[in-house]
Amino acid sequence: MSKPMTMTQKILASHAGLPYVEAGQLIEADLDLVLGNDITSPVAITEMGKMSRQSVFDKDKIALVMDHFTPNKDIKSAENCKCVREFAIRHEISNFYDVGEMGIEHALLPEKGLAVAGDAIIGADSHTCTYGALGAFSTGVGSTDMAAGMVTGKAWFKVPSAIKFNLTGKPSQWVSGKDVILHIIGMIGVDGALYKSMEFTGEGVKNLTMDDRFTIANMAIEAGGKNGIFPVDVLTEEYMKAHGSRPYKVYEADPDAVYDEEYTIDLSALKPTVAFPHLPENTHTVDEIKDPIKIDQAVIGSCTNGRIDDLRTAARVLKDKHVKKGVRCIVIPATQAIYLQAIEEGLVRTFIEAGAIVSTPTCGPCLGGHTGILASGEKCVSTTNRNFVGRMGAVDSEIYLASPAVAAASAIEGYICAPNQDQTIVQDKE
């Protein structure tokens, strides 16, 4: 009889061609996808140039997405994209996404059907763990590992142990996946899941949208996690079938799988949550904020919260209201398709009439790229994933991480707050 395994361990065992793996074991696994962006890919391409083999293992299993400093903000970013563009042409890379086709990578790849349940994926970007929302094993690696993956189609892993998060209940109005993951990081700390698989399960999962799940998996790395992963349910399968035709495989954790820790989280008890500077673990619920925190800027977007549900939520809050004078509100749809859908649903009109600006899909200010850099002493409430010192601009600026609902409400009031419970609701369009 085989020994019990977690969901992540089963995927890794399958890709390593082994009947069983256990925590701490070193394995070599076959890869279904290797991802790079305009910052990390040039380094990987340089490293690949030092190797004896100069061809990619599969031109259809490499994705190169120009999203961090694009449209190019300066000569260096233009040279980086040129390097990747020429590499993609030279190796006939199928999944190369440049200006006009691009989007923020971790929203774009699921949208294009490039990540599905049961996959093993590496990406030279720490938030590659996003695809765990689809029941895939996905994790961030360095550019050298990306180079090796592009050539061999394989990667070495130490099999992670796991933490089980049993989700119960249903989130209340204005509580989203962002509040869930900020609550968890605040509870266990930024190293609470160091090199562990964060496995989310329980009857409460069905009350989370796919966009909620993407957000939660995306920020697993902010707790130190090797990956975050959700079980595959009807909603997951509907999403994958709507966004592609690749076959997928469903893995389930054994009932007696071993976990380092187990936590039960009642989603109905959670409140809108904000991570104060300068770590994602420095969390407070909005109702705990006693003295008003005035803001200079609100950012709604990123690979964490730039999806259509996020924009709909922000538009509900901003509808028939206006951004506070002196506050800049920047909305960044995560992909071209999301941007177009936001236009068709009237969300972009709502943003503009409210005094916000809408940017082309880009990582933008999240990593201090462009389109929203902070000046000295400024405060920003942002739906991004990191609030480290100087992350979004001046080293003495401050970033407060929050959900789209909180970011939009704060933009209106000029200080960090959550929407009122009786906030006008705009009917969603499917």
The per-residue pLDDT for range 254-266, each reduced to its tens digit, is 999 999 999 999 9
Same domain, 173 and 308: no
> Residue 170 phi/psi, 5° resolution?
-130, 135
One domain for residues 278 and 239: no
Residues 46 and 137 in one domain: yes
- Domain at 293, CATH number: 3.30.499.10
Same domain, 306 and 212: no
Whether residue 180 sits in one domain with residue 58? yes
68 and 167 both lie in a single domain: yes
For 376-412, how does the pLDDT look when each residue is reduced to its tens digit (9 = 90+)?
999 999 999 999 888 999 999 999 999 999 999 999 9
Kindly state whether residues 82 and 142 are assigned to the same domain: yes
Say if 425 falls within a structural domain: no
> In terms of residue numbers, what domain contains 390?
273-413
What is this structure's pTM? 0.93
- Please check whether residue 113 is in contact with residue 244, taking contact to mean a CB–CB distance below 8 angstroms: yes
Residues 37 and 52 in one domain: yes
Which domain-ending residue is among 215, 236, 266?
266
Per DSSP, the chain holds a count of helices (H) and strands (E) of: 13, 18
Are residues 262 and 347 located together in one domain of the fold? no
Task: Give the chain's domain count.
Answer: 2
The answer to the question of residue 426 being in a domain is no
Domain membership flag for residue 423: no
419 domain residue, yes or no: no
* Whether residues 86 and 183 fall in one domain: yes
54-89 pLDDT tens trace: 899 999 999 999 999 989 989 999 999 999 999 999
Residue 314 lies in a domain: yes
Residue 74 domain-assigned (yes or no): yes
The pLDDT of residue 283: 95
CA distances from 246 to 3, 111, 118, 327 (A): 30, 12, 11, 44
| Pair (280, 261) in one structural domain | no
Q: What's the order of all strands across the beta sheet hosting 227-229?
A: 227-229, 196-201, 161-168, 261-266
pLDDT for 427: 31
Give a yes or no: residue 418 inside a domain: no
| 78 domain-assigned | yes
- Mean pLDDT, rounded, for 239-265: 95
Residue 256 has a CB neighbour count (10 Å cut-off) of 8
